[in-house]
Amino acid sequence: MGPLAGEDREVKRALGSVASVIAVALAAAAIGSIAPGRAVVTIWIPYAAFVTLLLGLSWRVVRWSLSPVPFRIPTVCGQQKSLGWIKAGWLESPSTTLGVIARMALEVLTFRSLFRNVRSRLEAGPRLIYGEAKWLWLAALAFHWSLLIILLRHLRLFVQPPPAVAVLLDRLDGFFQVGVPVVYVTDVVLLVALLYLLQRRFRDPQVRYISLFTDYFALFLLLGIAVTGISMRYFARTDVIAVKQLAIGLAIFAPAVPANLGPWFYAHLALVSTLAAYLPFSKLVHMGGVFLSPTRNLANNTRMKRHVNPWNYPVKVHTYQEWEDEFRDKIEAAGLPVERR
Ligand code: HEM
């Protein structure tokens, strides 16, 4: 396959994923605009997505917990605890549960392993050069934190009265007070971070080569959710009270079909539903997987504790002594030494 065929394939993956996201958004906007379709977009699809999310995540967790982990396999980059006079890395190679929790918390909250990520390139010579690659870390951190804050802020749309955390974040996030409605910093950061992550996949030939449909789809889906949400807030206002009634109705299993909430809302909700249903079956499930990963959640204490494989079953062995007893006469006849006379 020539290089052009490879590039064609890469372009197809990117275009296919953006087209899928646009198709979901347009279909939802069209179905929601006709009265009989409104229940499908506002009630049935969100419920189906939520059930898929719950079942999918449970299936994942059950599968993860069933996979055997007979050995301690934490990935570490520090000295393991052994003799008292050898300085151990309590965080880089944690030997206690507290150390594991501290390492995991820092990983989840600050993406420490991504911070250490380096880029490599081949120069004339040939010489392999390693360099800093902090932008990916920064964009990933900015994206995940903005997403979390936006989700927490959304609680004001689902809970009555809005929880204190949602009100507080709303105030902090809108501290710029640019125009009406107030511009949220996280909206801008989320968009910029997502666009950076996308352009990185397009621009870097190595990353583009290994990028699959699902890599683009996840990014375009999140971008679609951000764009439809932002459009609703700043350009095509929707009835937030009606959204709240719908959300509460869905939560207490007594949903009522709302009045027309506009195409942006139907597109937003359908894309969020797609994300929810897709999450357990995609790479996005790293969100939960990181906590269940034995390379991260096990203490590195193999020099302090003997770990016996819990699945060990009794094996019938034939010891050297038994073998020697069995062939003693032949070994002695051949003049070979034996351990026990
Ligand atoms: C993964 C989940 C979701 C993400 C990432 C997301 C993202 C966003 C973003 C970025 C905005 C722009 C304004 C802001 O930051 O608050 C927004 C607005 C909005 N979203 Fe979401 N959203 C999600 C889920 C939902 C759900 C489940 C609903 C409703 C059932 C919803 C309803 C709305 C509404 C009504 C607005 C406009 C709010 C306003 O006018 O102030 N969103 N969303």
Q: Whose CA is nearest to atom 9 of ligand 1?
A: 229
Residues 271-289 pLDDT 10s: 999 999 999 999 999 999 9
187 ligand 1 Cβ < 6 A: yes
Which amino acid, 83?
Answer: L
Reported confidence tier of residue 178, pLDDT bands at 50, 70, 90: low
H helix runs in the chain, sequence order: 3-33, 35-39, 45-66, 97-110, 112-115, 134-153, 155-158, 164-173, 185-203, 205-210, 213-234, 240-251, 263-278, 286-289, 294-297, 320-333
264 lines ligand 1 (CB under 6 A): no
Convert 114-183 into a string of H (helix), E (strand) and C (coil).
HHCCEEEEEECCCEEEEEECHHHHHHHHHHHHHHHHHHHHCHHHHCCCCCHHHHHHHHHHCCCCCCCCCC
pLDDT of residue 77: 92
- Choose among 274, 229, 327: nearest CA to 23: 274
**Which residues on neighbouring strands pair with residue 129, listed in sequence order?**
121
Kindly report, residue by residue over 86-104, the tens digit of the pLDDT.
999 999 999 999 999 999 9
Q: Give the pair of three-digit tokens for residue 244.
A: 């709240």
Q: pLDDT tens for residues 248-262?
A: 999 999 999 998 899
- Do 270 and 45 meet the contact criterion of CB atoms below 8 Å apart? yes
Q: Is the pLDDT of residue 3 over 70?
A: no
Banded pLDDT at 314 (limits 50, 70, 90)? confident
Whole-angstrom distance, CA of residue 220 vs CA of residue 17: 7
DSSP run (H or E) holding 311:
none
pLDDT at residue number 69: 84
CA 99 to chain CA centroid, Å, is 23
Please tell me the distance from the alpha carbon of residue 152 to that of residue 95, in angstroms, as a whole number. Answer: 35
pLDDT at 181: 76
**pLDDT above 50 for 1:** no
Contacts of residue 89, Cβ cutoff 8 Å, sequence gap at least 6: 76, 77, 78, 79, 80
pLDDT at residue 206 tops 90: no
Is the per-residue pLDDT at 341 higher than 90?
Answer: no
Q: Is pLDDT of 177 > 90? A: no
Structure tokens at 128: 């392999």
Confirm or reject: Cβ of 230 under 6 Å from ligand 1: yes
Q: How far is the CA of 230 from the centre of ligand 1 (A)?
A: 8
Predicted pLDDT of residue 122: 86
Asked, as a colleague might, if the bond just before 255 is cis with ω within 30 of 0, I would say: no
The atom of ligand 1 lying closest to the CA of 147 is 5
Considering only CA atoms, which residue is closest to atom 37 of ligand 1? 233
Q: Model pTM greater than 0.75?
A: yes
